[in-house]
Structure 1
């Protein structure tokens, strides 16, 4: 949210979001963009964010040659809602992907719901600006043809349409179809040997980079790992200090190194922005670490939604830098649009903000967000503004007893250990007002917000096209 304190803050954002984003580069200087998104990787699962168990020299090199974003947030503790925000620049509730069609926390195989084709994705923004676009990896925004990446701005797609546990190999109940591997919209493999998924993705990604090296290109590489069940090839299996989780992480680091080597070989390092992130907090029970954050995957404590993020663009992003200003995955769409000379959709609210001034290290730049809202599925649980984080609800709260808001000062208490609400009633009141604005605009629990849009549904799409069910 932009810096406003009145109750009209969200409405003002809606107006501001209608403006086109100016470019900072000439068309001939459009950067190639590579977005690497890991599945369930923890905040402290890479060396440059504090891991002592995982060897990640290539990702650490990205950090040494670029910038670490240490207060970078995704919008959900689970994958489908988070990925919806990444692609659209909007909160999950705004695009109606905070739950699936049956109220589940992510989308499942053969589901009726997906990212509405009328939404404008990051890929569509960049494609309109002249980019070749490809996704290699996990999509998880709808597995029916109407919702696949090739209908959402990507020229090419290779990967699986949802999580790697939604198949037969690691489940006995056979409630889902065999895990498919798609090339564009065609199933080319079923129940793949997941030990080689990271290698297969890496090869396809490099093939695309080589074919489009003249640029500009956008490569979205959403790894399936280290999400459960973790797999790694024989080159990495059993070699880390953290079991299967560490093996999968270290193979992702190898993959990142292969991409960096390819960029150097082709001589396009200096005109390629590479961003590495996770889709949500790490799954601690499977081996992830989110230290020093509290909580992990699925929750709204910091460990669920604050994730590791590293970005490099030689000569444009300062080397060895750290940014602790609040940034979000929603900010990538407007920021990439600016760098590409593209435009942000002018007919709808976009919650993300252009953060290029932060990434480029311009002195004195502050976060463009007045507030950040943490939702658990459809429930608003927390709001952050500046260093303050107010918990206004509890996940899966069974008790009907009134919940007393809890206040944390994240600059002094990153682990959310000490509730200081009683000491700062004025801060509690201010953040409660921001929370109320979010409820009005985005909704809360069963109440629909005034700014929500409808997700895509198979029956709607097929009624428009006349296709059979």
Structure 2
């Protein structure tokens, strides 16, 4: 009798243990992307800023991994966001340029976003903050896999078009709207408290979904101009109003990390912080708003194909999974989040399209891992400007200015020459030795130039053949 009981007991343990293990392991990880707008490579104190204090982001880096070679795929808002959410170069996805509020374009409904990738795996999905992938109903977050949306449909500089002024495509048909789902709940929105309101909505979403996996995409409005800060943060930073907005985002990051810990989700959540592109030109900011952002040691700014436009601060944290206190110097990109999240969630990548992003889980977890990218491409609109392979970056011959340059700087030839120089021959830079891209060594390395030119030609030819047409709603 005793022996029979012992055998029965062991059988129960052997049967029950896998069930208990499966239950604990079945919970898929949560994903949070915190995206700043126009935050430069040198705008966080953990990236060398002496004017802006970011203790919570510094702590996030100390508890996780800080990237020094993290790139977005566009140096301007809309295409950068399209690439992040689809894992594809924005040119391939049919959204190569920034969207103005009056345009009838947007991210193609046929594109598969991270939200759409994760929903079939049981994920709750939320987009909070700046969308900027299409204002009209077919392009809004709900049509791209997001259960919940609270934020702005486009950039905060899109004020209402005055009836007595010439038409300006940058301006909007309505006052800057704050939306909840498809409903406008406030117009014009009070921008001073936007970051705080986004944060509270994000925390609410986390608490409401603590018992199921979730994907939270929090895309901050700032430090994109025009700059605004609440009384709590105004005039507190040595970096002026620009610094005030960044320090508010730092506070927001801390609040969200605290909320995860309080909900018992700290060890179940991968959090990624990054910027959508480099810092904007200081001339965009009004007097009294600070000197604008800093790209630290990098050449170039937002809008350009230099490192200052494409290389951004990026931090990842997942206690117990990502070793703390590491710095990754390998090339990684925003579009890599798509296949990386897919792997961690057990989702299957789409097989009917090219996914340009690569799984960077090894970079996040292993110090010996190397970049999965043989080639990285720098596009402005549909024009391939430069390519990167390892330490080498090659600027291609350019006989005409990119679209962004002709819109912004047609009457400013000195700016055009400095940031968008035409080239009758390629320029080569060794980024390991010359991060500032100041010493053209193309003549010293003709074989490298030839190899990179061929890689660029082959990649662009394939991409252009595969490029989705821009989607325009006619009515």
Scaled by the length of structure 2, what TM-score is found?
0.86
Higher RCO (C-alpha under 8 Å, 6+ residues apart): 1
CA distance in structure 1 between the partners assigned to 2:163 and 2:314 by the alignment = 32
What is the CA distance between 1:171 and its match in structure 2? 12
How far apart, CA to CA, are the structure 1 residues paired with 2:260 and 2:112?
A: 29
Say yes or no: does 1:160 pair with 2:152. Answer: yes
Rg larger in 1 or in 2?
2
Mapped to 2, the partners of 1:164 and 1:186 lie a distance apart of 18
The structure richer in helix per residue is 2
Residue number among 231, 246, 254 corresponding to 1:234 in the alignment: 231
Residues 402 and 45 of structure 1, relative CA distance in 2, 3 Å threshold: closer
TM-score w.r.t. length of structure 1: 0.87
Mapped to 2, the partners of 1:172 and 1:434 lie a distance apart of 51
The equivalent position to 1:142 in structure 2, one of 126, 134, 158, is 134
Evaluate the alpha carbon distance shift between residue 26 and residue 307 of structure 1 in structure 2; reply closer, same or farther with a 3 A threshold: farther
CA distance in 2 between counterparts of 1:92 and 1:84 reads 6
SS in 2 for 1:280: coil
User: CA 1:216–1:67 in structure 2 vs 1: closer, same or farther (change >3 Å)?
Assistant: same
Q: Aligned-pair RMSD on alpha carbons? A: 2.0
Aligned to 1:277: 274
Counterpart pick for 1:87 among 69, 85, 98: 85
Query: Does the CA-based 8 Å contact 2:397-2:426 persist in structure 1?
Result: yes
SS in 2 for 1:309: strand
Q: In structure 2, what is the equivalent of residue 452 of structure 1? A: 467
Consecutive unaligned residues in structure 2, runs of 5 or more:
1-22, 286-291, 403-415
**Equivalent residue for 2:8?**
none
Aligned partners of 1:170 and 1:427: how far apart in 2? 53
Aligned length: 423
Report the Cα distance in structure 1 between the residues aligned to 2:422 and 2:206, rounded to whole angstroms. Answer: 56
Give the distance between the partners of 2:448 and 2:355, measured in 1 at CA.
27
- Whole-angstrom CA distance in 2 between matches of 1:64 and 1:401: 42
Cα deviation digits, residues 295-315 of structure 1 (max 9, x gap): 111100000000000000001
Q: Is 2:378 the counterpart of 1:374?
A: yes
Q: Answer yes or no: is the 8 Å Cα contact 1:284–1:297 preserved in 2.
A: yes
SS of equivalent residue, structure 1 residue 252: helix
Tell me if structure 2 keeps the 8 A contact 1:169–1:191. Answer: no
Describe the SS at the equivalent of 1:450. Answer: helix
Is 198-207 or 164-173 further displaced after alignment?
A: 164-173
Deviation per CA, 1:121-177: give whole Å up to 9, x if none: 011111111110001000000000000000000000000000000024999958422
- Aligned to 1:355, which of 347, 350, 360? 360
Q: Which runs of 5+ in 1 are unaligned?
A: 1-24, 100-105, 443-448, 460-468
